[in-house]
Structure 1
Amino acid sequence: MITNFDNLCSELEKQELEAPNGVASPTTYAQLLAIYLYQNDLCNAKFLWKRIPPNIISSNPEIAAIWTVGQKLWKKDLAGTYQALAIYNWTEPISNIIRALEERVRERALNLIGRSYSSISHNTLVSMTGLSNEAIAQICKERKWELSEDGTTIKPIPPVQPTPLHTSSEDQLFKLTEFVTFLEN
């Protein structure tokens, strides 16, 4: 399974630029579109969608299915995103990216819920994460979220944010001096 999507993205962008007649393969477009969604780079995904020739889109329904996911992400429709991800039977070069995309969208949703809600209904959590009731119970245990006795309300705990590394004033002044010296020379 490919895990370094940044390198793959650079390679695919290069393939698109160097493609004969300016038209890359459908697989290149599909992978690049999925990676842009994985990176949450919705603007580049939209521009790529507009660049893909219509004949490639019509002959490759997987590209249209990926863009359906992109549209749901653009509208911040999490429930629709999970439905769009589950509805299509993804082919092998794309399925790894799609699985990683789904995990990343879910993780972002869980972090957002932890930061934004003091309590949330079970049904809302299910729709925002696309998980089953059993998986929600497991997530609550892992994140130490409090589940009400009747199971209808969850009290999330905000995720621990890493403490920012503070540089000393002398270090900042040194970096600024180096930068100004570079600009002057």
Structure 2
Amino acid sequence: MNKDTFLANAMIGVSADDQAVNDQLVELELYELTSGHQLIDPKSCPTGIGVSSYDEYYTQFLGLYILKMDLLNAKFLWKRIPVPVKESSANLKILWNIGKLLLRKNYSKFFETASQIIQQPNNHHPESLIYIVTQIGQRQQRHLVDLITSAYSCISVEFVASLFCIPVKDVVSLFVPQQWELTANGKYLSLTQQPSTMLETPPAILSSPLLETNRSGLNPLTIRCPACELRLATAFELRKHAIAEHLASLDVHNQMDIPCFSCDVFTCAICGVASSECSAVEHHFRANHSAFINDPIKV
């Protein structure tokens, strides 16, 4: 079995299973620890781990670290790789170049470089390298989509296309299955439902009778749109409203021409309800949470 066939089979075997990636890394790390740090011949063959050369061994080792997004260990591994191996291996240099781009969080350049490696006409790169770069690119793409979904309720299609180095039509097909939708003017992606947050209101507070005033509608807390006076329940709904009603119909060609929506939002420190009126939050706190503090609230 030649080295390209072996490495491709190894990557295929681990790409979909994080536990398998970890197991493979343990095996490679164990070999490194037991083989010593003597200067090695880059053409020699490590025995006992199923690879045909040190070039192949370190290519697999570095590729798996980057695939796992363990970039710190990838950096330390690169420093440990013997100079003769690094100097003689084009595959290692390519992998480390894309690893450095991820370390620097230069995602646009990373996707551009990965695309060039994968789609190069008359591709002279080995299949094993193309495969692992493809797997790394797909995992980074999924990772960034998750980050964007957790941080944004609206984002420019043009910005995302530039970030991922893909056509606009591919941006839509990538985000729509993740609960995003294209706005009427086709320039923005809007999240169709509010993402779950890492910090949630404790169940004991949610079930507390102290919140019944707001639930019954006797003392509703709302956020006012600064453009049309519409009142909404959450900041997320305000952003969706602003995008759909005030931004989607605009035909702007310069980022500086987009109007700025400024709205002060005050939140309750106990249960997290919000309002654009400070006095409403103060009243809510005194009425519902007096047991938590004796001093008057200062928002």
The TM-score with structure 2 as length reference comes to: 0.49
Separation in 1 of the partners of 2:126 and 2:24? 17
Separation in 1 of the partners of 2:128 and 2:33? 20
| Structure 1 residue 12 corresponds to structure 2 residue 20 | no
Identify which range, 68-77 or 132-141, moves more after superposition: 132-141
> Percent identity at matched positions?
26
1:2 to 8, 13, 34: 13
Aligned pairs (5 A) from 1:86-97 = 86-88=115-117, 90-97=125-132
| Structure 1 residue 117 corresponds to structure 2 residue 152 | yes
AA in 2 matched with 1:125: V
- Give the C-alpha shift of residue 143 in structure 1: 1.8
| Structure 1 residue 54 corresponds to structure 2 residue 83 | yes
The TM-score with structure 1 as length reference comes to: 0.76
Separation in 2 of the partners of 1:161 and 1:14? 39
The one-character-per-residue Cα deviations of 1:26-76 (angstroms, maximum 9, x if unpaired) are 111111111111111111111111111222112111111111111110111
1:27 to 46, 56, 63: 56
1:139 to 157, 166, 174: 174
The count of aligned residue pairs is 163
| Structure 1 residue 40 corresponds to structure 2 residue 69 | yes
2:162 to 112, 127, 135: 127
Aligned pairs (5 A) from 1:138-177 = 138-157=173-192
Separation in 1 of the partners of 2:89 and 2:195? 40
Instruction: State the secondary structure of the residue aligned to 1:40.
Output: coil
Instruction: State the secondary structure of the residue aligned to 1:2.
Output: helix
Separation in 2 of the partners of 1:18 and 1:96? 29
Greater than 4 Å deviation, 4+ residue runs:
157-162
Q: 1:133 to 1:97 in 2, by over 3 A?
A: same
Separation in 2 of the partners of 1:154 and 1:85? 25
- Give the C-alpha shift of residue 87 in structure 1: 2.6
Q: 1:14 to 1:66 in 2, by over 3 A?
A: same
The one-character-per-residue Cα deviations of 1:78-102 (angstroms, maximum 9, x if unpaired) are 1111122223354233433322211
Identify which range, 88-97 or 2-11, moves more after superposition: 88-97
Q: Which has the higher contact order (CA 8 A, sep 6+)?
A: 1
Give the root-mean-square deviation of aligned CA atoms: 2.5
AA in 1 matched with 2:98: V
Structure 2: unaligned runs, 5 residues or longer:
1-11, 15-19, 41-45, 47-53, 118-122, 199-299
Separation in 1 of the partners of 2:113 and 2:145? 19
* Aligned residue in 2 for 1:171: none
Q: 1:159 to 1:111 in 2, by over 3 A?
A: farther
Which structure has more helix as a fraction of its residues? Answer: 1
